[in-house]
A and B are shown apart, each in its own frame.
Chain A
Amino acid sequence: MNYLIKISFLLLTLFILYSCDKPSPTELVDGSIQDDNIEVEVIAKDTEDEFYSNGFDTSGVSQNQINSIISITGGKITVLGQTEKYSIAQTIIYDKSNPVYNSLGRLIGYKTITPGTIRFNNLLTRLVDFRIKYRDAGQILDTLLGKKYVLYKGRGFFQDSFEFPYNSQVSFSFNPLIGNTVNFNVPTPVEVTGTVRIEGNRVQRNLKAILEWNGTNNPYFSIIIGAGKRNSREVFPLYRIKTSDDGRLIIPSKLLMDISRDRFDRLSFTFIRSFDNRENLNEHNVFVSSQSIHTIYIALP
């Protein structure tokens, strides 16, 4: 009996010495949670900087300002239940040897060049001024970077006959002043149509936005959440959220709760379904994007 007690005591001592651990956790991984997977990125680093309020009808609002781009957009804007459509096809070719800095030395873009003519669906583009706004030493400055190639149909005076063909393709043709003509087709995505529903409220800290759209599982899909300044037409794109094109996303409340109601009075949710690619255009590596965009404005809750 004493022998058993000694053995028990020894075992207990060993266990006590060896038992400071805790149960193993289970790590959970699964493809199915991709449904709600999101990748969030801040776009407007400074909402006082008008630089970031430049139109964000393209997906590359800020970063792409320094990359030459061919952008073809079929867009919709819904405000108070009214939806307007527009189509834009544009090309911006930067001269990387000619950067533009603000007074603090921050790169704000490059001068543009127009080394030939460009056609979309055989329609000749117009050359229009390409201006950007930015804050410099407390002043809002407007700077002309050069010209860009544009076809536009929608609200406004200058109308082209270009109509964005959804789920199809747009032929692109660049006829340089020197060299051979570059031709290729740009595929276009299925038209995106979204809805926004706000649930909860700020007081209970459970504010959330439920976004739904016609999901097609397109590999390039993102949502940009923007905020419109009070008494201004300017809208700052705040976050880009990359998620799967599955038709539904709940925006976490944290992303909405901290948007100041003092400075902003409306939110914009921009659904972007795109096909992105790169092409060489007369020695310029160009980002090519065709996108269907639906922007919905709602009052900031």
Chain B
Amino acid sequence: MAQNSFDINGYWANGLIPNARINSLELNQSNFSGVRDWLFSITYSSEFSDKSNSYLYQISAYKNFNNHLFHLRYTPGLQKEFLFSTGQTILLSDSNSQSLKADYVYKELFGFGYSYSFNEKFNAGFSLRFFNQDFTQEVIKPVFSDTNYLMIETEKDEIDLWKADLSFAYKFNNNLSIYLSSINLLSSESKPLYDYNRNYLLKKERGLSIGFSFMPFNSTAINFNYESDKSFSASINQILKLNFGTFGFALSAYHDKSQNPFINSLAPSIIYSASLFDIVLSGVKYSEKRKQVSSFSKFSEDGIKNILHNQFSFDRVNLSVNFKLNTKIEQRIKILDVDIRKDIFPALNEEYLDKPFASAKVVNLTDKILTVKPAVKIVGLNKDAIQIGSYQVAAFDTVEIPIYAFIPEYSEISKTELSYAEIFIYSASEQADDLTQKPVLLNSINSWDGQVKNLRYFIKRDLSNSQNYSRQIISFHKSELDTIPIALSDFYRAKLIFNSFIKDMTYISDPRIKWDFVQYPSETLKLKGGDCDDLSVLYSALLESIGIETALVDYRSRNDIRHVNVLVNTKLSPQQAFLITENDTKYFIRKNQFGIDEVWIAIETTSLTDFDTAWNLGSEIFNDEALNKMGLLNSNVQIIDVN
């Protein structure tokens, strides 16, 4: 018997250098790390007994699907053959004798491995391996015919064996990881045809193997493994990272009770790992001289447990080459967390172009400065992920980057619903380095975030409809307007429009609690009613569409019940104010962009009477809240220009 924990590539710490332990199903089922996408591996071996033999040892393929790693291995060279005399001799009639021979071959033909990474710390896996024991023995066959004689007959016994094992690996931190593996946990073997072969079957005692890897430095590892049959192995690994790849060296020592001396073998191994391939040159040197002729009693009494490494194994050298076929781009940026800062209001589309709706905490996994481009797709709103902005992240740095949403101008989201934002992070290629999903509230097209300044988005939408409506009113009163001085044109147009539309309107309070539901101007006209937001938006839109400047006044100090009304720019100078009123509390002076004073009047649309009443009421509210209570100074009242 011999220990299971013998890896043809040497005993390497998991994760110290990618793919070093790649071909070990013997005790490495839980090795998740290393393969990013596809990996193909081929190993040649040369054995040195009394002569040297070279042969193909194994071909294997790996595939990584996210946290799943699959491994298929074909091992034509994983076999051990024994030739011996059966101890039987036939004396032939001519006094010659013929000894009978036996040829016992143990093969491991195929292996399948699977491992799953639960998280960065915990991996688990299993292996399934198929063995064939091909025993051929010559036996004496008496023939009774005209002449009795003895002949030699060959009895062939092919015994199949399946073995399944589990393994777990846990990484406490970057310095210490442990692993636990079963040995011969499950096995299924076909029955030998001949009873005398039972003694020579592969030994299948159940056992456990436990080991640890300790990395005192980033480039050094010390490994130790102990098996329940009291065998152990130990190794030291050292790697050197260079610009063009990584070099590694391992020296492993093995002990088990069936091999002499105490340390039965030393196995040096070197690896060169580049981005597209790895080359591993490994070998094993047994402490005692291994000859091609050995003891039958040692074989019949102890048998063998491990085909690759046993008391009859020869010194060997192995060359493995791994080819990495990465259709997936190596991850260079990783998303640590995403914080959704605000819900999505499709009506406020321009707001999202310069104000991020979320932020992502990302880490640069490389030792280079990277340009990171975030992209987002809001399910139900975007057909594709839209990339906005790019940011530089220093090597190994963790930063928070803003995530902007792109909201199409004419989104038709009829009702508010919980949706998902898919956030992608790109570094260089067309394939995202990382992605994550976060729930986000996708509001309807009529939803308003309560920011009065954002009512302008409702005003500006469907401006052509508003314009048509206003023009119809103006046309209807054309003769009347023609008689009015040009300076009073805006004032009277505002008055005519107000008196025209308001007479059909009804005030309807908004039942929604958190956010207001704001009607677009065309909807308010169609529904013939709305609350203060809706009516203010409508009136503002009707005026803006024909070039009359408006502003919204946001009153915040009214017992938490916010209120909005409209300021209209009459374009009159303060000296001309008397043309519309002699009451100086009914207008307000604001400077335009050129610093020239202009007369503005406040209109309370919810008065639902006529322009003069609405003006009076608007002036009262404005005077009271903005001026007398100094709302403009203490920000309880804000004036928001629509343009």
Contacts and interface: CB of A to CB of B under 8 A. Distances in A.
Contact of A254 (B53, B140, B312): B140
B297 A32 contact: yes
Contacts of A32: 296-297
Interface string A1-29: 10011001001100110111111111111
A45 B147 contact: yes
Contacts of B484: none
Contacts of A132: none
Interface string A139-164: 00000000000000000000000000
A180 to B, nearest CB: 35
Interface in B600-621: none
Nearest to B87: A37
Contacts of A39: 88-91, 97
A33 B297 contact: yes
A23 B80 contact: yes
Contacts of A12: 42, 321
A186 B298 CA distance: 42
B243 to A, nearest CB: 11
Contacts of B148: 42, 44-47, 238
Interface string A34-56: 11111111101111000000000
Interface in A40-83: 40-42, 44-47
Contacts of B272: 4
B89 A8 contact: no
Contacts of A45: 93, 147-149
Interface residues of B, number: 60
What secondary structure prevails in chain A residues at the interface with B? mixed
B412 interface: no
A27 B294 contact: yes
Contacts of A238: 142, 148
B81 A26 contact: yes
A47 B142 CA distance: 13
Interface stretch (B43-51, B337-345, B443-451): B43-51
B150 interface: yes
B74 interface: no
B67 interface: no
Nearest to A15: B44
A19 B317 CA distance: 13
**Chain B CB within 10 A, most for which of A1, A28, A47, A242:** A28
Nearest to B54: A19
A239 interface: yes
Interface string B137-151: 001111110111110
B279 interface: yes
B55 A8 contact: no
Contacts of B97: 39
B82 A206 contact: no
Given A21-B54, A26-B312, A29-B296, A34 B277 contact: no
B299 A28 contact: yes
A255 B140 CA distance: 7
Contacts of A21: 53-55
Contact of B91 (A18, A27, A34, A40): A40
B292 interface: yes
Interface in A235-263: 238-240, 242, 252, 254-255, 258-260
Contacts of A255: 140, 142
B85 interface: yes
Given A5-B277, A255-B140, A23 B294 contact: no
A269 to B, nearest CB: 15
B277 A40 contact: no
Contacts of A24: 47, 49-51, 53, 81, 292, 314
18 contacts: A1-B244, A1-B274, A15-B319, A16-B56, A18-B54, A27-B83, A27-B292, A28-B293, A28-B299, A29-B294, A29-B296, A30-B296, A35-B87, A38-B89, A42-B148, A47-B148, A254-B153, A260-B144
Interface of B: 42, 44-45, 47, 49-51, 53-56, 76-77, 79-85, 87-91, 93, 97, 103, 139-144, 146-150, 153, 195, 244, 272, 274, 276-277, 279, 292-300, 312, 314, 319, 321
Given A37-B87, A254-B139, 15 more contacts: A19-B54, A22-B76, A23-B47, A24-B53, A26-B294, A27-B294, A28-B296, A29-B85, A39-B89, A45-B147, A45-B148, A47-B144, A238-B148, A239-B150, A259-B142
Interface of A: 1, 4-5, 8, 11-12, 15-16, 18-30, 32-42, 44-47, 206, 238-240, 242, 252, 254-255, 258-260
The list of the 8 closest CB pairs from A to B, nearest first, reads A30-B296, A41-B91, A25-B81, A28-B84, A28-B296, A37-B87, A32-B297, A15-B44
